[in-house]
Structure 1
């Protein structure tokens, strides 16, 4: 993981390199189950890049630190292209690809928003802070970002990664998880659905029934019928709904929320053109 400051070497950039061979092998195995070109985020010294290159597929290694990028470029085989770019600004490929990344803990949300807003990739294998990884996968309660994305993506938590697996070791453990684009989305109206999720997560109230009643998104009778059909308690929290429950709830309330105006939250602004990862 490495922060995206424009100056400084690996230490100043806050890089925490993955050094645990077992975790590196787990990442390689997850990527090996996929197909197509690979885009690696925060390649650093290449501890993940080199095993990925042995899969025999095109690899684009994106690294923001110029010195690390130059060093890596001297080591990689011909099927690897090294880009000295910021993942928040680099232009991702316009063809199907896989994203792999050891994410900087303090930029995980920003990078995930960028990834989830990008088309064309079909699978992401990511390493992030443990608590973030488990919440993104909906374990112990989902975040609003996960709930907004669930109809289009499946999240799965694979393993906990001890802090000692990194050099230097961060103060918390990491978590390895995957994001897979659904072939058939659970919801068709992305803009309206995402606005609805934001209303529910930020609305006043202590439980789902109170929140939805206060915001006027659904009448109490219809909501009670939906709760009975799902077996959920009236005081269930938004974070505790599953992907299918969110989609089902949206079907009951969608006519009351429209997607007019503005870009969906989390969609990054247009940036200056950059080199495109292949």
Structure 2
């Protein structure tokens, strides 16, 4: 994992950040645009981490969907990697205008890439392409809905995703990836673990953004797997929600409250070698899936 905060020559990086920030502020002044708190906008301006994200995957001749491109700081770096197509999904009409103007002025050069901008809410965006990657710098307050959207709701699901998110949310997701740890699971970590293997590829300090958020950030890489495809998604999501109705209560009590027969639950728990006093947060993804198959 890369940590920008521990990079040598931090003073030089700080000076570099200031130069980049001044350049961005010039762009904002030109278009009379400010970051909108209502949209949770924090623009990543650290050139080294932007390049790291763009170069992490082999993008040549691949289909890419960039969510939340803003003014296009990452966009050109993605284009430089010669993808087959690059589709931008941006809700803010003002940012779309900036992107279109930068393309018109030659600030963004798409070259031979099949390039498209969609001015749409990402939760209403359903990709038509079947083999693609998602790269996203998203408002932190919609991290969970966006993950659910791409992992469960779209018909054509991405092969992998790189997502910049709030560090504590990323940590919660990562804990759910380790089936040997205790007291780690949550609805979020489980619905992610059912569909993807996740690793943290970079940590990003708040000073790397304009405006600076109050929290640290992480960049996570999600890779699709099909280990639990034999369990219907609707059934899986319904049962884990029931299991966490009261996270600190016994799992059997939550499941019984959610409509499952207690005697049958005790029998299933015994068959699986599970403690009847266990709480849902203690179970990892494998244990949860084994339980759900019997319910």
In which range does the TM-score fall when normalised by the shorter chain? 0.7 to 0.9
Instruction: Provide the residue aligned with 1:222 in structure 2.
Output: 268
Instruction: Provide the residue aligned with 1:240 in structure 2.
Output: 282
| Residue 154 of structure 1: how far off its partner (Å) | 2.6
The 10-residue stretch of structure 1 (211-220 or 22-31) with the greater mean CA deviation from structure 2: 211-220
Tell me whether 1:142 sits opposite 2:177 in the alignment.
Answer: no
The 10-residue stretch of structure 1 (182-191 or 122-131) with the greater mean CA deviation from structure 2: 182-191
Structure 1: which 5+ runs fail to align? 1-7, 254-278
Instruction: Provide the residue aligned with 1:179 in structure 2.
Output: 222
Question: Retained in 1: the 8 A contact 2:40–2:140?
Answer: no
Question: Retained in 1: the 8 A contact 2:205–2:217?
Answer: yes
Change (3 A) 1:148 1:14: closer
Question: Retained in 2: the 8 A contact 1:163–1:172?
Answer: yes
Tell me whether 1:63 sits opposite 2:99 in the alignment.
Answer: no
Instruction: Provide the residue aligned with 1:4 in structure 2.
Output: none
Question: Retained in 1: the 8 A contact 2:68–2:89?
Answer: yes
Deviations 1:100-137 (A, max 9, x none): 10110122223223222213221111011111122223
Q: Report which of the two has the higher share of helix.
A: 2
State the aligned residue count.
242
Question: Retained in 1: the 8 A contact 2:136–2:163?
Answer: yes
Distance in 2, Cα, partners of 1:106 & 1:182: 26
Structure 1 residues 150-229: aligned runs within 5 Å: 150-202=193-245, 206-212=249-255, 215-216=260-261, 218-227=264-273
Secondary structure of 1:199's partner?
Answer: helix
| Residue 34 of structure 1: how far off its partner (Å) | 9.1
| Residue 17 of structure 1: how far off its partner (Å) | 0.8
The 10-residue stretch of structure 1 (144-153 or 169-178) with the greater mean CA deviation from structure 2: 144-153
Question: Retained in 1: the 8 A contact 2:231–2:293?
Answer: no
| Residue 89 of structure 1: how far off its partner (Å) | 2.2
Secondary structure of 2:57's partner?
Answer: helix
Structure 2: which 5+ runs fail to align? 1-31, 177-182
Change (3 A) 1:251 1:110: closer
Equivalent in 107, 111, 118 of residue 146 of structure 2: 111
For normalisation by structure 1, the TM-score amounts to 0.75
Change (3 A) 1:174 1:247: same
Structure 1 residues 37-116: aligned runs within 5 Å: 37-57=63-83, 58-73=85-100, 74=103, 75-78=108-111, 79=113, 80-116=115-151
Secondary structure of 1:164's partner?
Answer: helix
Change (3 A) 1:50 1:240: farther
Distance in 1, Cα, partners of 2:128 & 2:98: 24
Instruction: Provide the residue aligned with 1:264 in structure 2.
Output: none
Deviations 1:155-205 (A, max 9, x none): 333332211121111011111112222145343322222221122111586
| Residue 55 of structure 1: how far off its partner (Å) | 1.6
For normalisation by structure 2, the TM-score amounts to 0.71
Structure 1 residues 5-44: aligned runs within 5 Å: 9-12=33-36, 13-32=39-58, 36-44=62-70
